[in-house]
């Protein structure tokens, strides 16, 4: 049953504005290479137009269900207007039209029409289940923000809403397709918003939705969202570039025509059936290239782009050979994304040739199927199963990425951290490496051998000790390059280290390491956090013992499940003790009898806190900074790093001074305990005369001074008169170090000895 123009006005409460919205409309517009500017006049969407598109692939019974969803949405949105003055129902219809371009099923189209009801009209999920079924209700729920929950900040609310949406996407990819359609229409109609709101929405689009569209291979949406966001974040730059591109098109027409004529005639002579298109960069693509590569506008526009769509897989490579015979290829400018597709399923041959007049010409060669996937990505195969019931290669990769979101969610404590991990994985640039069995693994640019280990399996990552790259031993922090063959060396006794967080790149690796550090070292984190919060409470003249009623209220407002969890978050630097203490102080002000004052009034009034005591037996929650390597006797200060616990620096450490200037609230006083139970690493340098046996004499004296050598190095130049020896030794304290240095300084041939810092 089709929706006719007369049907489109049928609802529980028709009105004139709604009927007008059906008659006056403009098509949902796709961005094209020849016209990269945003849609200038989107207008009010039409049910008649939507029906015509849906009738091409939905059955009459499915169309009837869509009609019911439209009527229900129209009734609920009755009287609601958009900022532009249009009836609000025009927005859900426009979103459904974009989804219809992808030929999404009836459930997705219904969800697109209903997607704002739970959020704007307080329609309950149970009501949607009763009227339209559980699958449609689940899609709408996944698209709805968590408006009814109180959050501590706008950032926390935004992060939690993104997490809800992304996890719903992991269960059903249609959620993100509808959300991207929703965001696209909102961006097309953003002009009526206030300037600051436009910029905030545009930045959010550029940071989250543009990378997701790229990751899912939705290149049309990706390009249009980029240009729309660019036009609102930098409106003056956008207008200037748009004007320059328009002026340059006339000058380029002759070159483009000559290349098109030559390529078409050459391919026809070879017997290849192909469609050849001129391909123009988007305005944001031009801007990004100018900014990143420090190029002028003319340098960027001097590169011409063409796309060739051939009739078969084999002819892709034949066409490549034909083009290389026509124009000379530029060395190092060929990429085969057919043999090794991009993460988002994109496949093409890329080559850059020297065209007429010596101008560089970029060609993309692909088949019809590859072209469809290149433009629509996962939306070209949005169903998980194809006709044969098996997963396509693109669907397998998409499914694996969506599954990784669920893995990260299980290991992640809060929404902001989850979103941070996901953003890491949304970077489009990738490297492709091989397992020893020749399986291809795609990783983000800059990924290390340890990222590779966690990509294979979390247990392998946790137990990693080294790697073999191209059959040679390499550290875990080694960055991988395209074509590397990577093998991981593991040990059952190995465990993740906080230092790994400094170099891993993937969200999965980062979340797995943090999860391990939080769970394995939980008692240490709790103890440290308890100590820090007690200090902060005493500083505010409050008793560090928190009564049960106040603790319950604090936990409700902080989203922690128990005081131990709250202490652990403080211990690993995830929460600031001072901020939690101020929160408690606010609760006490509203209920003055909730917490008695601290016993030590004078200490609290002076604001002087007892320092954290370091004994040397602490676990990974307390680390001695490798830059300055403090030893007993040094004056120290502690840095609470997020999810890395407490890092202890020497007070005079240059790195500590710079970091303290940036984040003064994250630094606390620490001091050495009376009884230390281990030795500490220390670096020394010894300047010696380059003579026979001097290294042996220095090493022997260090041993005689009861110190252990764990590293030794020296200058590479053996022909110099003087030579620098570098040692890392284990000692007890500053007194022990001073005695050792005095003994070494007395050795014949030693000119100078000093402790290395920084």
Under 8 Å between Cβ of 147 and 119: yes
Cα dihedral sign, 350-35-97-187: positive
Under 8 Å between Cβ of 714 and 725: yes
Q: Round to whole Å and give the CA distance between 687 and 722.
A: 7
Tokens of 309: 């769509």
What string of H, E and C letters represents the secondary structure of 155-196? HHHHHHHHHHHHHHHHHCCHHHHHHHHHHHHHHHCHHHCCHH
Task: Enter the DSSP assignment of 448.
Answer: B
Q: Round to whole Å and give the CA distance between 90 and 109.
A: 14
Q: Round to whole Å and give the CA distance between 92 and 118.
A: 13
Phi-psi region of 196 (alpha: psi -120 to 50; beta: other; left: phi over 0): alpha
The residue behind tokens 């409106």 is 235
What burial class does residue 288 get, using C-beta atoms within 10 Å of its C-beta: 0-12 exposed, 13-18 middle, 19+ buried? middle
Q: Round to whole Å and give the CA distance between 231 and 223.
A: 12
Residue of 81, 72, 60, 65 lying closest to 11 (CA atoms): 72
| Residue ranges of E strands in 245-295 | 274-279
Angle separating helix axes 174-188 and 195-204, nearest 10 degrees: 150
CA dist list (Å): 688 to 108, 522, 693, 722, 750: 77, 48, 11, 6, 4
The terminus-to-terminus CA distance of the chain in angstroms comes to 76
What is the gyration radius of the CA atoms in the chain, in angstroms? Answer: 32
Q: Round to whole Å and give the CA distance between 434 and 413.
A: 32
Under 8 Å between Cβ of 111 and 139: yes
Length of the chain: 758
Candidates 62, 101, 119, 527; catalytic one = 119
- Report the helix count and the strand count for the chain, using DSSP H and E: 31, 19
Alpha carbon 409 to its chain's center: 14
Tokens of 734: 């500053």
Q: Round to whole Å and give the CA distance between 673 and 676.
A: 6
Phi-psi region of 357 (alpha: psi -120 to 50; beta: other; left: phi over 0): left
Candidates 7, 120, 681, 732; catalytic one = 120
621 is catalytic: no
119 is catalytic: yes
Task: Indicate which residues carry an active-site annotation.
Answer: 119-120
């Amino acid at each position: 049953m089709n929706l006719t123009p007369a049907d489109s006005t049928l609802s529980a409460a028709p009105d004139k504005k709604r009927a007008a919205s059906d008659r006056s409309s403009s098509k949902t517009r796709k961005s094209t290479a020849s016209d990269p500017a945003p849609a200038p006049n989107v207008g009010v969407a039409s049910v008649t137009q939507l029906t015509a598109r849906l009738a091409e692939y939905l059955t009459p019974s499915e169309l009837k269900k869509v009609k019911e969803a439209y009527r229900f949405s129209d009734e609920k949105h009755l009287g609601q207007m958009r900022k532009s003055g249009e009836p609000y129902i025009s927005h859900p219809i426009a979103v459904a039209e974009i989804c219809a371009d992808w030929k999404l099923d009836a459930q997705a189209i219904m969800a697109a029409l209903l997607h704002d009801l739970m959020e704007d009209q307080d329609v309950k999920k149970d009501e949607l289940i009763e009227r339209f079924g559980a699958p449609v209700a689940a899609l709408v729920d996944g698209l709805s923000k968590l408006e009814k929950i109180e959050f501590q900040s706008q950032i926390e609310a935004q992060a939690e809403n993104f997490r809800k949406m992304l996890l719903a996407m992991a269960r059903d990819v249609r959620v993100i397709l509808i959300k991207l359609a929703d965001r696209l229409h909102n961006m097309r109609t953003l002009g009526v918003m206030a300037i600051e709101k436009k910029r905030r929405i545009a930045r959010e689009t550029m940071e989250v939705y543009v990378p997701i569209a790229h990751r899912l291979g939705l290149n049309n949406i990706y390009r249009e969202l980029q240009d729309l966001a660019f036009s609102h974040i930098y409106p003056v730059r956008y207008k200037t570039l748009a004007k320059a591109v328009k002026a340059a098109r006339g000058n380029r027409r002759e070159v483009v025509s000559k290349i098109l004529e030559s390529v078409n005639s050459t391919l026809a002579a070879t017997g290849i059936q192909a469609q050849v298109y001129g391909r123009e960069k988007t305005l944001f693509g031009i801007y990004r290239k100018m900014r990143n590569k420090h190029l002028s506008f003319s340098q960027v526009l001097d590169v011409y782009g063409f796309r060739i769509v051939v009739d078969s897989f084999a002819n892709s490579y034949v066409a490549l050979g034909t083009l290389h015979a026509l124009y000379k290829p530029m060395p190092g400018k060929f990429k085969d994304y057919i043999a090794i597709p991009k993460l988002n399923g994109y496949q093409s041959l890329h080559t850059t040739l020297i065209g007429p007049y010596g101008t560089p010409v970029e060609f993309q060669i692909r088949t019809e199927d590859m072209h469809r996937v290149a433009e629509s990505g996962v939306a070209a195969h949005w169903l998980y199963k194809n006709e044969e019931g098996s997963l396509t290669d693109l669907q397998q990769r998409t499914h694996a990425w969506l599954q990784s979101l669920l893995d990260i969610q299980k290991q992640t404590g809060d929404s902001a951290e989850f979103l941070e991990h996901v953003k890491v994985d949304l970077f489009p640039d990738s490297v492709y490496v091989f397992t020893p069995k020749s399986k291809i693994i795609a990783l983000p640019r800059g990924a290390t051998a340890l990222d590779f280990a966690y990509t294979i399996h979390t247990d392998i990552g946790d137990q990693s000790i080294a790697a073999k790259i191209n059959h040679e031993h390499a550290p875990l922090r080694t960055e991988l390059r395209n074509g590397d063959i990577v093998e991981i060396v593991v040990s059952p006794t190995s465990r993740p280290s906080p230092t790994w967080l400094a170099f891993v790149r993937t969200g999965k690796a980062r979340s797995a390491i943090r999860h391990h550090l939080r769970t394995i070292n939980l008692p240490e984190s709790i103890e440290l956090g308890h100590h820090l919060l007690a200090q902060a409470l005493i500083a505010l003249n409050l008793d560090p013992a928190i009564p049960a009623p106040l603790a319950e209220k604090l936990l409700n407002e902080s989203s922690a499940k128990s005081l131990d969890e709250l202490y652990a978050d403080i211990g690993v630097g995830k929460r600031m003790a001072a901020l939690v203490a101020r929160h408690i102080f606010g609760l006490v002000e509203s209920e003055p009898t909730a917490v008695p004052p601290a016993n030590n009034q004078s200490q609290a009034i002076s604001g002087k806190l007892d320092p954290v005591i370091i004994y040397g037996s602490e676990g990974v929650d307390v680390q001695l900074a490798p830059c300055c390597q403090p030893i007993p006797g040094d004056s120290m200060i502690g840095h609470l790093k997020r999810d890395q616990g407490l890092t202890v620096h020497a007070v005079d450490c240059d790195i500590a001074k710079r970091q303290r200037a940036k984040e003064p609230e994250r630094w606390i006083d620490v001091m050495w305990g009376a009884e230390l139970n281990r030795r500490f690493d220390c670096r020394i340098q010894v300047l010696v005369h380059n003579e026979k046996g001097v290294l042996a004499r220095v090493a022997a004296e260090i041993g005689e001074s009861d110190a252990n050598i764990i590293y030794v190095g020296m200058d590479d130049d053996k022909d110099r008169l003087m030579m620098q020896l570098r040692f890392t030794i284990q000692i007890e304290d500053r007194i022990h170090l001073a005695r050792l240095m005095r003994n070494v300084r007395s050795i014949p041939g030693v000119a100078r000895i000093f402790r290395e810092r920084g």
